[in-house]
Amino acid sequence: MDQRSPLRALAPVAAFLVLTVSACAGSGEGTGTGGTPGAGGLSDPYFPGLGNGGYDVQHYDLALDYEPKPNRLSGTATITARATQDLSAFNLDLHGLAVDGVTVNGVPAESGRAGDELTVRPREAIGDGSTFRTVVRYSGSPRSVTDPDGSEEGWLRTEDGAIALGEPQGSMAWFPGNHHPSDKAAYDITVTVPKGLTAVSNGELRSQRPAAGGSRTAFAWHSPEPMSSYLATVGIGEYDVRTSRPAGGIPEFTAVDRTVAARSEKVRARIPEVLEWAQKNFGPYPFSSTGAIVERADDVDYALETQTRPVYPAGAFNEEFLVHELAHQWYGNSVSPKEWKDVWLNEAFATYAEWLYDEDFRGVPAQERFEKEFEDDGNWAFPPSAPPKDDLLGAPVYGRGAMVLHKIRQTVGDDAFFGLLKSWAQKHRHGNASTEDFTAHVEERSGEDLTELWEVWLHGDGRPAKP
Q: Is the pTM of this model over 0.85?
A: yes
Summarised one tens digit per residue, pLDDT across range 191-206 is 999 999 999 999 999 9
Q: Taking 80 as the threshold, does the pLDDT of residue 3 lie above it?
A: no
Which residues are CB-contacts of 137 (< 8 A; sequence separation ≥ 6)? 13, 14, 15, 16, 17, 74, 75, 76, 77
Q: What angle do CA 45, 50, 56 make, to 5 degrees?
A: 115
Residues in the chain: 467
Measuring CA to CA, which residue among 280, 281, 252, 289 is closest to residue 268?
A: 252
Residue 407: what pLDDT?
98
Query: Taking 90 as the threshold, does the pLDDT of residue 352 lie above it?
Result: yes
Question: Is the predicted pLDDT of residue 236 greater than 70, yes or no?
Answer: yes
Nearest to 193 by CA among 174, 166, 220: 220
Nearest CA to 104 among 84, 86, 125, 85? 125
3-state secondary structure of 361: helix
Could you give the CA distance from residue 405 to residue 344 in angstroms, rounded to a whole number?
11
**Does residue 240 contact residue 295 with C-beta atoms inside 8 Å?**
no
Residue type, 243: T
For 109-138, write each residue's pLDDT tens digit.
788 899 999 988 898 899 999 999 888 889
Contact 300, 163 (CB under 8 A): yes
